[in-house]
Chains A and B, each alone.
Chain A
Amino acid sequence: MSHEPESSSPAPGASSSGFGVPPIGSGADPLLRATGLRTSFGSLDVLKGVDLEVRRGKVLVLIGPSGSGKTTVLRALNALTPPQAGVIDLDGERIDFAAKLSKRETAAQRAVLRDASGMVFQHYNLFPHKTVLENVIEGPVIVQKRPRDEAIATATALLERVGLASKRDAYPFELSGGQQQRVGIVRALALRPKLLLFDEPTSALDPEIVGDVLTIMSELAHEGWTMVVVTHELAFAREVADEVAFLDGGVVVERGTPAEVFTNPQEPRTREFLDRLLRPLE
């Protein structure tokens, strides 16, 4: 990932220093606090009361065994899969999933969560019938009703920033996995969300390009974006996370700074999981 010289005329909305100013200044107060999230699929209880806190401008990394509900947590935070119970406080708004609400009110609450976040998927989920640029401006222009010219300028600057300016008019099938994922990140950034959600953004990528995507993500973190990242990349977590939460059996078993969780885990389950991750063959 190269740090290219800035273009001579920075696009509106894109600061000259990188990915644009994160929408909210950093601070220690929580942007999002989730309490008691419960999700079940039929008789399978996946989240059994998950509590989380995401501080403004900070990075929360979620780790945990396969099937522990990491994806389900992310999908609760943006209401793709609304939990059956639990409360999310987001920047002054409260969403109570157990509350009995009209259809309209429910939709409005989900919109609060969805509009606040941008999501990066494991399998990119780009729109295959749209070019790279069209993928990126779809949300800003169609949903947020921003002027098309401005959205194009912002998108172009962001694409340049991730080294994909020349792919603007390409279709997703013409891109490598790493390139597609960079477009996925730019598509999320272009929405100027308060919160960025990443679900194993590098686990579908070839090992030699994982670094490209992780580099972009750590740059975003340094610029002060608020992020929740599900990943198995422990080196990334150690370096970039402000907080690590270990999810197992439908609850957050342990949380703390990377140093606390990785170097000195308190819970046997955490230790076991980390051991297996670090020494898969033993």
Chain B
Amino acid sequence: MDWQLAWDSLGPIVRGAILGTIPLSLISFALGLVLALGIALARMSSIRALSAAARFVISVVRGTPLLVQLFVIFYGLPSLGATIPPWPSAVIAFSINVGGYGAEIIRAAILSVPAGQWEAGYTVGMSRATTLRRIILPQAARVSVPPLSNTFISLLKDTSLASLILVTELFREAQKIAAFSQEFMLLYIEAALVYWVICLGLSALQNLLEKRLDRYVARA
């Protein structure tokens, strides 16, 4: 085992994580959540066309491979005259992906809040929008943290696909060094370990967040 190579390659790989994988995940997740909330509300709208459009987006996102979505945006769109650089392409594809999966999670969470909470909001004089924002969403947030955390962890791992559209991130750094040194096993195991460590950190954060959001719930 080439320990020197393992040590020397750690720098570029971690840099790939810090400059590529992590910001790509965070930005895509943040945009994706906004999109997810929008799609979830559209899906629950009484306006038929809006709800149908939302259902269509969700169906396409969930029914097609992420890699194909990524390729359509990066390699496909240029033939229609829209050339988007690697980073924005990746952000667009990942955000839409989070939007599609997150929408169903958020919708289920909103529906899980008892109808009496909407009514209590109305009877203190709130509009639908205010009740949603101040009463329903905070309670839905608690319910949706575990599934959304899973979505985030999946996203973080899926950003390795961005290496295929030339985004500099963790896995692409590992690939470059592997090709150069021919130490494939070493480099890919190393990349896997770095992903794993990041995910362990995320799980710890998830636990903290769940504890915080659970402070107003009776413990069984």
* Residues on A facing B (Cβ under 8 Å): 78, 80, 111, 114-115, 117-119, 121, 123, 125-130, 138-139, 142-144, 171-174, 187-188, 191
Given A114-B125, A142-B130, A173-B218, verify A126-B139 contact (CB < 8 Å).
Answer: no
Given A127-B135, A173-B218, verify A143-B119 contact (CB < 8 Å).
Answer: no
Q: Is the CB of B130 within 8 A of A127?
A: no
Task: Give Cα A144–Cα B124 distance, bound, in whole angstroms.
Answer: 9
Which one of A111, A127, A188 contacts B117 once the chains associate, using CB atoms below 8 Å?
Answer: A127
Q: Is the CB of A173 within 8 A of B216?
A: yes
Q: Is the CB of A187 within 8 A of B217?
A: no
Q: Is the CB of A115 within 8 A of B125?
A: yes
Q: Is the CB of A173 within 8 A of B217?
A: yes
Q: Is the CB of A117 within 8 A of B123?
A: yes
Task: Give Cα A35–Cα B135 distance, bound, in whole angstroms.
Answer: 34
Size class of B's contact patch? 20 to 34
What B residues does A117 contact at CB under 8 A? 123
Seed contacts A121-B116, A187-B124; 12 additional CB < 8 Å A-B pairs: A80-B119, A80-B123, A119-B123, A125-B114, A125-B120, A127-B120, A127-B135, A138-B124, A142-B126, A142-B130, A173-B217, A174-B218
Distance to closest chain A CB from B102 (angstroms): 21
Q: Is the CB of B138 within 8 A of A129?
A: yes
What B residues does A187 contact at CB under 8 A? 124
Chain B residues 68 to 126 lying within 8 A of chain A, measured CB to CB, are: 114, 116-117, 119-120, 122-126
Q: Is the CB of B116 within 8 A of A143?
A: no
* Residues on B facing A (Cβ under 8 Å): 114, 116-117, 119-120, 122-126, 130, 134-135, 138-139, 142, 215-218
Q: Is the CB of B216 within 8 A of A144?
A: no
Which one of B116, B139, B142 contacts A123 once the chains associate, using CB atoms below 8 Å?
Answer: B116
Which one of A125, A139, A174, A188 contacts B119 once the chains associate, using CB atoms below 8 Å?
Answer: A125
What A residues does B116 contact at CB under 8 A? 121, 123, 125
Task: Give Cα A246–Cα B80 distance, bound, in whole angstroms.
Answer: 72
Distance to closest chain A CB from B1 (angstroms): 53
- What are 6 A-B contacts with C-beta separation under 8 Å? A128-B217, A129-B138, A139-B124, A139-B126, A173-B216, A188-B123
Q: Is the CB of B125 within 8 A of A144?
A: yes
Task: Give Cα A174–Cα B123 distance, bound, in whole angstroms.
Answer: 23
Which one of B134, B139, B215 contacts A138 once the chains associate, using CB atoms below 8 Å?
Answer: B134
Query: Which of A80, A138, A171 has its CB near the most chain B CB atoms (within 10 A)?
Result: A138
What B residues does A143 contact at CB under 8 A? 124-126, 130
Distance to closest chain A CB from B79 (angstroms): 45
Distance to closest chain B CB from A121 (angstroms): 7
Task: Give Cα A125–Cα B130 distance, bound, in whole angstroms.
Answer: 17
Q: Which residue of B lies closest to A197 (CB)?
A: B123
Which one of A127, A130, A171, A191 contacts B125 once the chains associate, using CB atoms below 8 Å?
Answer: A191
What A residues does B130 contact at CB under 8 A? 142-143
Q: Is the CB of B216 within 8 A of A171?
A: yes
What A residues does B119 contact at CB under 8 A? 80, 119, 121, 125
Q: Which residue of B lies closest to A173 (CB)?
A: B218
Q: Which residue of A lies closest to B135 (CB)?
A: A127
Query: Which of A114, A129, A139, A188 has its CB near the most chain B CB atoms (within 10 A)?
Result: A129
Distance to closest chain A CB from B120 (angstroms): 4
Distance to closest chain B CB from A48 (angstroms): 24
Q: Is the CB of B126 within 8 A of A80?
A: no
Task: Give Cα A187–Cα B120 distance, bound, in whole angstroms.
Answer: 10
Distance to closest chain A CB from B121 (angstroms): 8
Q: Is the CB of A118 within 8 A of B123?
A: yes
What A residues does B138 contact at CB under 8 A? 129
Query: Which of A78, A123, A127, A171 has its CB near the most chain B CB atoms (within 10 A)?
Result: A127
What B residues does A130 contact at CB under 8 A? 216
Q: Is the CB of B117 within 8 A of A125?
A: yes
Task: Give Cα A114–Cα B119 distance, bound, in whole angstroms.
Answer: 11
What A residues does B134 contact at CB under 8 A? 138, 142
What B residues does A111 contact at CB under 8 A? 125
What B residues does A78 contact at CB under 8 A? 123
Task: Give Cα A127–Cα B131 distance, bound, in whole angstroms.
Answer: 11
What B residues does A139 contact at CB under 8 A? 124-126
Given A138-B134, A173-B216, verify A126-B120 contact (CB < 8 Å).
Answer: yes
Given A121-B116, A142-B130, verify A128-B216 contact (CB < 8 Å).
Answer: yes
